[in-house]
Amino acid sequence: MERYKSTFQKKNWITLKLSEMDHVKEIQAISFIWNHLKRQNALSGTAQEHKKEADTKIVIQKIIGLLSSGHTVKQIANILREDLFFVQLISTIYQREFQLYENLRLSDLTKNMGLSDFSKPFAKDRQKKKGAGNISAKLVEMRVNRNLGYITFIFLQEPTDLFNSKVTKPPSMKLVPSNLYTQQVRILDFFKLLKTNPEFKNFKELTIDDIKEVIKNADIKCHCDCPAQYWQGNTYNLSVLDGSTYTTDIAPKHWDKYHGEGNQILCKHLQLLFNGISFWISPMASMIYKYLQNK
| Average pLDDT score over residue span 118-146 | 93
Question: Is 60 exceeded by the pLDDT of residue 38?
Answer: no
Distances, alpha carbon 220 to alpha carbons 30, 207, 228, 243, in Å: 21, 21, 20, 6
Instruction: Record the pTM.
Output: 0.67
pLDDT reported for residue 32: 54
Q: How confident is the model at residue 69 (pLDDT cuts 50, 70, 90)?
A: confident
Rounded to 5 degrees, what are φ and ψ at 175?
-80, 130
pLDDT reported for residue 155: 98
Distances, alpha carbon 94 to alpha carbons 7, 64, 91, 102, in Å: 11, 15, 5, 10
User: Where are the chain's structural domains?
Assistant: 2-97, 106-293
Q: How confident is the model at residue 195 (pLDDT cuts 50, 70, 90)?
A: confident
Provide, rounded to the nearest whole percent, the portion of the chain with pLDDT above 90.
39
Angle at which helix 84-92 crosses helix 53-68, to 10 degrees, equals 90
What's 95's DSSP letter? I
Distances, alpha carbon 50 to alpha carbons 47, 62, 95, 156, in Å: 9, 19, 21, 49
Give the span between the Cα atoms of 137 and 269, in whole angstroms. 8
In 3D space, the residue among 118, 59, 47 whose CA is nearest the CA of residue 261 turns out to be 118
pLDDT reported for residue 126: 94
Any bridge partners for residue 181, and if so which?
157
